[in-house]
Amino acid sequence: MTESVKHFLDLDKFDKSTLRDILDLGVAIKSDLSLYAKSQPLSGKTLAMIFEKPSTRTRVSFEVGMRQLGGEVVVLSQSDSQLGQGETIADTARVLSRFVDAIMLRTDDPRKLDELAEYATVPVINGLTDLTHPCQLMADVMTFEQHRGPVAGRTFAWTGDGNNVSNSFIQAATKFDFSLRLACPESLRPDASILKWAVDCGADITVTADPAEAVDQADCVIADTWVSMNDKEAGRVELLTPYRVTEDLMGHAKDDALFMHCLPAHRGEEVVNEVIDGRWSVVWDEAENRMHAQKGILHWCLS
């Protein structure tokens, strides 16, 4: 890996102050877009986006964000590129590095992301793997702080499947100094090595099987789909039904608690309409902040 290349792979790879600087950059661009639109800081830069899984928010937020800062994008999918015909990730990295200034990858296996970063000579950005979703967490921290001030010292509660977004939440709690309680069935807990890393770092993370215990007096409650892309349903709905975010469950949180969800939501499964459309919900700001947070990431990677 070229040491000087500024990849955005996972939150655990950053020191706390660099992550805070990237987030602050996103907030600064958001609050004075006209200044950045005028200076076009990414003029002449091109981002390639490779999607091996579907996306709405990631694709549109990166594309619009790049254009608003003066840059261009090229989108590749597995089905219409040579990746789907067996060209290796390493060779794809070498070739794309000759054409573009940064590469975003959404894929299944996190080892593909590592291979891309190993062989690319331009920054690589993690647009979601089966293991993590760090861009989402930058937007989530931005969203909480937009509504309630600093995340440090606050308590977040995750309820449902211990999936890729929950793993990035664990990394974010460790790096942004908030407490995290995760309520997951025994068989769907977050990644054990990420949990161990967080505990070894001294983070305040607890895992329980009881959603009411996790949500008790929380500042923010988070849900995500029960069946992530590539997952098999295989009994998950039955197993996860007690983890649904309802008005009753929100009643265990602080009165001014927020509700967040990375979207897409499966209304009536992991969250009921009364919550996602209710007074707690900041999910539309959260979706918008994907673009603002990623502008900070792009600016950092490309400067």
Choose, from 135, 184, 220, 262, the residue flagged as catalytic.
Answer: 262
Q: Are 220 and 157 in contact (CB under 8 A)?
A: yes
Q: Are 18 and 179 in contact (CB under 8 A)?
A: no
Q: Are 170 and 195 in contact (CB under 8 A)?
A: yes
Q: How many CA atoms lie within 13 A of 123 on its CB side?
A: 21
Report how many residues bind ligand CP under the rule CB under 6 A: 9
Bridging pattern class, strands 72-77 and 220-223: unpaired
Q: Does 136 bind ligand CP (CB under 6 A)?
A: yes
> Is 261 an annotated catalytic residue?
no
> Is 146 an annotated catalytic residue?
no
Rounded to 5°, angle at Cα 137 from 13 and 81 = 80
Choose, from 290, 292, 294, 301, the residue flagged as catalytic.
Answer: 290
Min dist CB 135 to ligand CP, Å, is: 7
Nearer to ligand NVA, 22 or 188 (CB): 188
> Is 133 an annotated catalytic residue?
yes
Choose, from 224, 292, 299, 301, the residue flagged as catalytic.
Answer: 224
User: DSSP character for 189?
Assistant: P
Per CB under 6 A, contacts with ligand NVA among 118-157 are 128
Report how many residues bind ligand NVA under the rule CB under 6 A: 9
Residue 291 falls in which region: left (phi positive, over 0), alpha (psi -120 to 50) or beta: alpha
Provide the total of helices (H) and of strands (E) in the chain, helices listed first.
13, 9
Q: Site for ligand NVA (CB under 6 A): which residue of 46, 77, 146, 228?
A: 228
Q: Does 121 bind ligand CP (CB under 6 A)?
A: no
Name the site residues for ligand CP (rule: CB under 6 A): 55-58, 128, 136, 262-264
Residues assigned a catalytic role:
106, 133, 136, 224, 262, 290
Binding interface with ligand NVA (CB under 6 A) = 128, 163-165, 224-225, 228-229, 262
